Amino acid sequence: MAEETSWYKDAVIYELSVRGFYDADGDGGGEFRGLTLKLDYLAELGVNALWLLPFYPSPLRDDGYDISDYTNIHPAYGTLDDFKMFLDEAHRRGLRVITELVLNHTSEQHPWFLEARSSRQNPRRDWYVWSDTTDRYKRARIIFSDTELSNWAWDPVSESYYWHRFFSHQPDLNYDNPAVREAMWEVMRFWLEMGVDGMRLDAVPYLVERESTSCENLPETHDVLKSLRARADRSFPGKLLLAEANQWPRDVAAYFGAGDECQMAFHFPLMPRMFMAVRLEDRKPIVEILQSTPAIPDSCQWGLFLRNHDELTLEMVTDEERDYLRDEFARERRALLNLGIRRRLAPLMEGDRRRIELMNGLLLSLPGTPILYYGDEIGMGDNIYLGDRNGVRTPMQWNGGWNAGFSAADPERLYAPVISNPVYGYQAINVDSQRRYSHSLLSWMKQAIRIRQSTRVFGRGSMEVLDPLNHRVFAFLRELGEEKILVVSNLASQAQAAELDLRRWKGSVPIEMSGGSLFPPITERPYLLTLGPYQFYWFNLRRL
């Protein structure tokens, strides 16, 4: 396949909130002009694609996932011209841009919904899903279980119930209606034509409802996506569709189709198991989930992540695993939300630099495309005293000055308070200070990303898991053509030794990739490695 159209395989994606990144006009929230001023920072970090959280007009009751106009910019974030300027400047720096396509639902403020609810005879009525009772689709679970009691909400205007899988102010669109499918294609076309490089498809499993099913992952839903993909390919080849489907591996893999649906999908089940493995000091959870992950079409790629703008979701684990993860990672019960944990990476790792590096090391070397969450590259903290998921969406910490260098506004005016506690506060954790010394987390991240980007093996290579006796050590081989990379990680808090069976690569010499040191050549004998607490190595295996 053409390299150009599979660019996402070589990408390191950076997820960010326009509102949270940089406030150039001093009104207390970021905007496109501010973000554009920070593009050099992102290019310098070494990422090559940006995923932007929703920036469309919206009442912002779900941080913009409640859209009231799909083809415009929220006035607080600027104008379409500002967006175009940002897009050009990003492209000029080699940064691709991925935007959000929220297919499943609109805001209740969207003109479509206002029309649809205005009377039962309105021509738009059938754009949403209505019922006279709450008895339909009983088998569908409630996703926002801390807020919603039912997937039906009463509309006093038209005196009937409408269907919603998320907040009750987010009515689901009716994908059985061809006009809805057409309208969403028009939305997609609008942004692809403007030049965005890909779209994250929000909440895709829930597009279609059918009686006596869970209303998730239905064949009709896949048909909708396949048709969007075919149309995108026809008019805009090389644009990425990234599925957000929080499902078990087999069900997520279905979103790749036969290479004719989404090119990428987030690996939701792997993520919590990376946290579990480091906590249990055992590779088993990761190895098991990789083993139960089906092979995917050649053109497709997993999206890997540690944290994002939502709670660390624990939907794709067993009840026992969930109890364990909650006990270990959310001892403070305020950190729990819905089924997950609303914390950022650094606090989850108790601020332990070695564990933060190890987790990022896994993220950058396992098969797939890594997706970093803004602020995690400097080890930002969170604020579990803010409601919903707002505690992991606080302003980016640029320096130790006024409002963390994020905004010139009065602090009271900020869309969310900056983190200011003594451990993770902006005086301690910020970009400027971490830029100034070469052993900061930021400098380490830059180097790790640079190594990842120095070869295509990580993004495109095969994966073989090794099986050393010491199960605290997780070792695997990535291979692409002649290139071979050996990754060995110590998941434990104590130093470990492991003997690896590397006979197949006899005669090769492991070269440690961060410093270039040569390790002893591989022979017939078990290859002995010792690793400090949470230490990991990336080796290039070379025949000298």
**The one among 310, 376, 377, 382 contacting ligand NOJ by CB under 6 A:** 310
Give the HSE-up count for residue 180: Cα atoms under 13 Å, Cβ half-sphere: 25
Could you tell me the smallest distance in angstroms from the CB atom of residue 440 to ligand NOJ? Answer: 30
CB of 348 or CB of 392, closer to ligand NOJ: 392
Could you tell me the smallest distance in angstroms from the CB atom of residue 142 to ligand NOJ? Answer: 13
What gap in Å lies between CA 64 and CA 66, rounded to an integer?
A: 5
Could you tell me the smallest distance in angstroms from the CB atom of residue 62 to ligand NOJ? Answer: 5
Whether 200 contacts 266, CB under 8 Å = no
Q: Which two tokens stand for residue 35?
A: 């973000």
Q: Beta strand 152-155 with 160-163: parallel, antiparallel or unpaired?
A: antiparallel
Could you tell me the smallest distance in angstroms from the CB atom of residue 244 to ligand NOJ? Answer: 6
Q: Which residues contact 533 (CB under 8 A, 6 or more apart)?
A: 354, 490, 492, 493, 494, 495
Q: Does 62 bind ligand NOJ (CB under 6 A)?
A: yes
Q: Where in 414-453 is the site for ligand NOJ (CB under 6 A)?
A: none
Could you tell me the smallest distance in angstroms from the CB atom of residue 426 to ligand NOJ? Answer: 25
Among this protein's residues, is 202 annotated catalytic?
Answer: yes
Q: If residue 333 lies in a helix (H) or strand (E), which one and from where to where?
A: none
CB of 46 or CB of 54, closer to ligand NOJ: 54
**Residues 185-204: x/- map of binding to ligand NOJ (CB under 6 A)?**
-----------------xx-
CA-based max dimension of the chain: 78
Q: Does 388 bind ligand NOJ (CB under 6 A)?
A: no
Whether 447 contacts 45, CB under 8 Å = no
Q: Which two tokens stand for residue 425?
A: 């506060």
What gap in Å lies between CA 527 and CA 512, rounded to an integer?
A: 15
Give the neighbor-by-neighbor strand order of the sheet with 536-543: 462-465, 473-480, 483-490, 536-543, 508-512
Could you tell me the smallest distance in angstroms from the CB atom of residue 303 to ligand NOJ? Answer: 13
CB of 166 or CB of 256, closer to ligand NOJ: 166
CB of 23 or CB of 244, closer to ligand NOJ: 244
Could you tell me the smallest distance in angstroms from the CB atom of residue 267 to ligand NOJ? Answer: 15
CB of 143 or CB of 378, closer to ligand NOJ: 143
What gap in Å lies between CA 203 and CA 100, rounded to an integer?
A: 11
Q: Which two tokens stand for residue 227?
A: 């048709």
CB of 58 or CB of 496, closer to ligand NOJ: 58
Q: Where in 155-184 is the site for ligand NOJ (CB under 6 A)?
A: 166
Could you tell me the smallest distance in angstroms from the CB atom of residue 166 to ligand NOJ? Answer: 4
Q: Which single residue is written with the structure tokens 């010499």?
A: 509
CB of 100 or CB of 377, closer to ligand NOJ: 100
What gap in Å lies between CA 384 and CA 382, rounded to an integer?
A: 6
Give the HSE-up count for residue 108: Cα atoms under 13 Å, Cβ half-sphere: 18
What gap in Å lies between CA 230 and CA 257, rounded to an integer?
A: 12
How many residues bind ligand NOJ (CB under 6 A)? The answer is 9
CB of 61 or CB of 353, closer to ligand NOJ: 61
**Helix-helix angle 219-235:178-194, to 10 degrees:** 40
User: Which residue's CB atom is positioned nearest to ligand NOJ?
Assistant: 65
Q: Where in 203-222 is the site for ligand NOJ (CB under 6 A)?
A: 203
Q: Which single residue is written with the structure tokens 């040191």?
A: 517
Name the catalytic one among 10, 62, 244, 311.
244
Name the catalytic one among 23, 172, 202, 216.
202
Q: Where in 65-94 is the site for ligand NOJ (CB under 6 A)?
A: 65
123 class by beta-carbon count within 10 Å (0-12 exposed, 13-18 middle, 19+ buried): exposed
Q: Does 268 bind ligand NOJ (CB under 6 A)?
A: no
**Helix-helix angle 270-280:319-329, to 10 degrees:** 60
Q: Which single residue is written with the structure tokens 């009271």?
A: 412
**Residues 91-110: x/- map of binding to ligand NOJ (CB under 6 A)?**
-----------x--------
Q: Which two tokens stand for residue 136?
A: 């339909």
Q: Where in the sequence numbering do the catalytic residues fall?
A: 202, 244
Residues lying near ligand NOJ in the complex (CB under 6 A) are found at 62, 65, 102, 166, 202-203, 244, 309-310
